């Protein structure tokens, strides 16, 4: 059983990338016909994806003076992990490197999915993650992002998980959009299954986090639960290093299927992405408030 330890002082709001530019591993999938999507396969993004290459300065921690947070989530720390990265497509050798994922060795990352119109998953992940950060900070939470922009490579799953662990996060979420069969619609939440020596201490709180995020996301966006993968919008997996290596409650959001035209229209809509971010923030907030009530 591993114990979460919070860092002294105020956690940085955007975690620095390591100089070696280690890389990320995602649950996101590419179209694989009508079968179960393959997490390791995804198309390269188009250059016309409209990605935001410059980090929003809010929450960067650069030059900020330590101030006491106020709001219902004051005193909590949330780690947001925007899946993939904009430079991954040009770093095939790096992202194909095998890393220890808690269940064996696996490719370090994938490029991610994209819509038929070329809107890339990494751009979606980055945009929603920044909006989610802002919503959580408005509620008083300390927020840490695992990458600082959308033009780099990585970081790897080992570093992404370590950022949450070192921050002593009360909750962590990895933001993604799926790339399943074009006939499939909907969102799902991935939580860690029980893996002895890895997730046995976080499986139950992660399950509660998944339930809270699922409910809030469904209510806030009107998005249906996935009809092509998972069960009732929930999936427990033990093959994802980002979950297996976490010492803190963590889930993956697959916000919709980029290969489906109806889902893609939502994912590419900035207003929908704002609703998605606010809904996820509400779900995380419910989880954190419920934890405080139990401790009290």
Task: Show which residues are catalytic.
Answer: 254
SS (H, E, C) the chain: CCCCCCCCCCCCCECCCCCCCCCCCCCCCECECECCCECCCCCCCCCCCCCCCCCCCCCCCCCCCCCCCCCCCCCCEEEEEECCCCCHHHCHHHHCCEEECCCCEEECCCCCCECCCCCEHHHHHHHHHHHHHHHHHHCCCEEEECCCCCCCCCCCHHHHHHHHHHCCCCEEEEEEEECCCCCCCCEEEEEECCCCCCCCCCHHHHHHHHHHHHHHHHHHHCCCECCCCCECCEEEECCCHHHHCCCCCEEEEEEEECCCHHHHHHHCCHHHHHHHHHHHHHHHHHHHHHHHHHHC
């Amino acid at each position: 059983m591993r114990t979460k330890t919070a860092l002294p002082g105020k956690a940085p709001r955007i975690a620095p990338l390591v100089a070696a530019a280690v890389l990320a591993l995602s649950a996101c999938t590419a179209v694989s016909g009508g079968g179960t999507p393959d997490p390791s396969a995804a198309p390269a993004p188009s250059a016309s994806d409209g990605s935001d290459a410059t980090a929003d300065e809010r929450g960067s921690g650069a030059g900020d003076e330590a101030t006491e947070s106020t709001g219902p989530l004051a005193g909590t720390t949330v780690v947001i992990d925007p899946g993939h990265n904009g430079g991954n497509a040009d770093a095939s050798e790096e992202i194909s490197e095998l890393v220890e994922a808690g269940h064996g060795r696996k490719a370090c990352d994938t490029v991610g999915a994209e819509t038929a119109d070329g809107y890339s998953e990494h751009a979606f992940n980055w945009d929603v993650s920044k909006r989610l950060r802002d919503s959580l900070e408005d509620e008083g939470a300390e927020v840490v992002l695992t990458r600082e922009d959308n033009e780099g490579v990585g970081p790897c799953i080992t570093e992404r998980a370590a950022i949450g662990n070192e921050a002593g996060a009360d909750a962590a979420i990895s933001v993604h959009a799926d790339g399943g069969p074009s006939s499939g619609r909907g969102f799902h939440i991935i939580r860690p299954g029980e893996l002895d020596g890895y997730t046995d201490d976080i499986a139950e709180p992660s399950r509660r986090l998944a339930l809270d995020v699922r409910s809030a996301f469904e209510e806030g966006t009107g998005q249906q639960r996935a009809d092509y993968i998972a069960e009732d919008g929930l999936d427990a997996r033990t093959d994802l290093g980002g979950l297996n290596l976490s010492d803190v409650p963590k889930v993956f959001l697959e916000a919709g299927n980029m290969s489906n035209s109806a889902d893609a229209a939502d994912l590419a809509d900035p207003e929908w992405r704002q609703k998605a971010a606010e809904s996820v923030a509400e779900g995380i907030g419910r989880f954190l408030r419920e934890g405080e009530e139990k401790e009290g």
